[in-house]
């Protein structure tokens, strides 16, 4: 090994000791079903020392420890909700990336729906309301009458 290689090797050793890398093989559970649950839970938990990363994708050591803890809780028989609640008990709602539906998050969850409905009402102001929606129910005589009436209105409009 060349000297640069050795230096580089040392650098790797020291840096990699710090930089873990998302989910590691030695963290994973034997049972694929349980491991899958752990992954799902991890994607809803925020790495609290990071900026908007899930613990599932974060390289931070605390995220790694939180992933381990999630798996411990699963092995201890906790349900997914119980594992999330365990974290919330310690870190508060801050730790959840999918905020729970509470009075604090009412606006967050209902907001999009309100915006859509409010927007729909605003948009409806641009839409013409048809006077007669269905002409097929009318008899032939009635249709003739309608046509005559429409012509009359058209005429009176243009004057």
Partner 1 sequence: MNPELGHFALALALPVALVQSIIPLIGAYRRDAALMAVAGPAALAQMLLIGAAFAALTQAFIASDFSVVNVYQNSHTSKPLLYKISGVWGNHEGSLLLWVSILAVFGAAVAAFGAGLPDRLKARALAVQGLIGAGFLAFILFTSNPFLRIDPAPVQGMGLNPLLQDPGLAFHPPMLYLGYVGFSMAFSFAVAALLEGRVDAAWARWVRPWTLAAWSFLTVGIGLGSWWAYYELGWGGWWFWDPVENASFIPWLTGTALLHSAIVVEKREALKSWTILLAIITFSLSLLGTFLVRSGILTSVHAFAADPTRGVFVLMLLALAVGGSLTLYAIRAPKLEPGGLFAPVSRESGLLINNLFLTTAAATVLLGTLYPLIAEALELGKLSVGAPYFNTVFIPLMVPLVLLMGIGPMMAWKRSDLAGILGRLKGALAAVAIVFAIALALSGIAVVDIAGSAGIALATWLFSSSLIEWAGRVRLFKGAPSDVWRRIRSLPRASHGMTVAHMGMAILIVGVSGSSAWKQENILTMAAGENVTVAGFEITFNGAELIQGPNYESLQGSFSAKRGGSSVALTPERRVYDQPVQQTTEAAIHTTFWADLYVVLGDGPTDDRRYVVRAYFEPFVPFLWYGILMMGFGGLISLSDRRHRIGAPRRAAAVAEPAKA
Partner 2 sequence: MDDIQEKRSPRRWTAILPVVIVALLVGAFAKRLMDVEGGQDPQQVQSVLLDTPVPDIDLPPLPDRGAGLTTADLKRDVSLVNVWGSWCVACLSEHPLLMDVAEQNDIPLHGIAWRDEPSASVRWLARNGDPYDLIGQDPVSEAAIAFGVTGAPETFVVDADGIIRYKHIGPITPDAWSNTIAPLVEQLRQ
89 binds partner 2 (CB under 8 A): yes
How open is the CA angle 35-36-40, to the nearest 5 degrees? 115
Question: Whole-angstrom Cα distance, residue 102 to residue 97?
Answer: 14
Residue 136: phi, psi to the nearest 5?
-70, -20
99 binds partner 1 (CB under 8 A): yes
Which pair of structure tokens corresponds to residue 10? 């040392």
Q: How far is the CB of 116 from partner 1 (least distance, A)?
A: 5
* Residue 62 binds which of partner 2, partner 1, none (CB < 5-8 A, kind-dependent): partner 2
65 binds partner 1 (CB under 8 A): no
- Sites of contact with partner 2 (CB under 8 A): 48-49, 51, 61-62, 65-66, 68-69, 88-92, 94, 122
């Amino acid at each position: 090994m060349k000297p640069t290689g050795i230096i580089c090797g040392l650098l790797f050793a020291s840096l990699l000791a710090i930089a873990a890398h998302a989910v590691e093989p030695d963290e994973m559970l034997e049972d694929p079903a349980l491991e899958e649950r752990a992954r799902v839970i991890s994607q809803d938990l925020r790495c609290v020392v990071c900026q908007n990363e899930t613990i599932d994708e974060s390289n931070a050591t605390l995220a790694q420890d939180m992933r381990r803890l999630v798996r411990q809780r699963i092995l201890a028989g906790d349900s997914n909700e119980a594992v999330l609640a365990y974290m919330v008990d310690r870190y508060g709602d801050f730790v959840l990336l999918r905020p729970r539906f509470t009075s604090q998050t009412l606006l967050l969850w209902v907001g999009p729906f309100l915006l859509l409905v409010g927007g729909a009402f605003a948009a409806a102001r641009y839409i013409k309301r048809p006077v007669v929606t269905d002409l097929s129910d009318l008899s032939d005589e009635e249709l003739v009458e309608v046509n005559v009436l429409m012509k009359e209105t058209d005429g009176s409009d243009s004057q």
